[in-house]
Amino acid sequence: MNTELAGILLIFILTVLISIPLGKYIAKVYLGQKNWMDFLTPVEKGIYKISGINPDEEMTWKQHLKALLTINMVWLVYAFVMLLFQDKLPLNPDGNPAQTPDLAFNTAISFLVNCNLQHYSGETGVTYLTQIFVLAFLQFVSAATGMAALVVVFKALKEKTTVKLGNFWVFFTKSITRILLPISIVLAIIFVFNGMPASYAPKGQYVSVQGIR
């Protein structure tokens, strides 16, 4: 019991200690102030240029909402189609079947809104391809979408206005390049050095005492 309590206290203390510098850093990112990730500015400008985005354009709340709903609709259709045809796509060494339309829709919209509801077995319901480029992808970008939307809400409350609320695409892009990706890379390195398995090989096979595979 003492060990469990100590673990809870340690996690709480570490969370508070990390939240202070991380919160200050995140505030600098969204306020456009100088920070240690500014070396990514050329990459972000390249993304804006390819996407036809004007990062200096101020958007109203309606434009922010339109951008959020538009990009989410694109991801919904993309995820739905990928899950419907996953059996015909690569990275499927176990020959997992395609999801039915109702299951594909439920899965796509669930991960899109970050509920992550799963009405299937992870090993047989999705392939390596859809696990990475649909489920993990949606978990990632849906978080960035929520962060961008929250910045707009905070900005509107602070400025007491519904116009000139910054640019949704800039908030979204920076949420990924300067916050989520760095954290993910650090955690991935920790997981690798701790021996977390990572492979595209087929599922492992075992034989029970009764001789059943």
Helix/strand/coil percentages in the chain, nearest 5: 70, 0, 30
Q: What is the mean pLDDT of residues 58-74?
A: 95
Tokens of 123: 């090993």
Q: How far apart, in Å, are the Cα atoms of 199 and each of 68, 196, 205?
A: 34, 10, 15
Place of tokens 């949704």: 168
195: left (phi over 0), alpha (psi -120 to 50) or beta: left
- CA–CA–CA angle 58, 61, 63 (5° rounding): 65
Q: Residue 1 pLDDT > 60, yes or no?
A: no
Of the two residues 69 and 4, the one the predictor is more confident about is 69
Q: Which region among 40-49, 77-86, 194-203 has the lowest average model confidence (pLDDT)?
A: 194-203
Cβ atoms 146, 114 nearer than 8 A: yes
Q: What sign results for the dihedral spanned by CA atoms 13, 17, 18, 22?
A: positive
pLDDT attached to residue 115:
86
34 φ, ψ (degrees, to nearest 5): -65, 135
pLDDT, mean of residues 179-205: 87
Identify the band that residue 119 occupies on the pLDDT scale cut at 50, 70 and 90.
confident
Long-range contacts at 137-141 (CB < 8 A, ≥ 24 apart) = 138/75, 138/79, 138/108, 138/111, 138/112, 138/114, 139/111, 139/114, 140/176, 140/180, 140/184, 141/75, 141/176
Quick check: 86 and 101 in contact, CB under 8 A? no
Tell me: the pLDDT tens digits for 138-177? Answer: 998 999 999 999 999 999 999 999 999 999 999 999 999 9
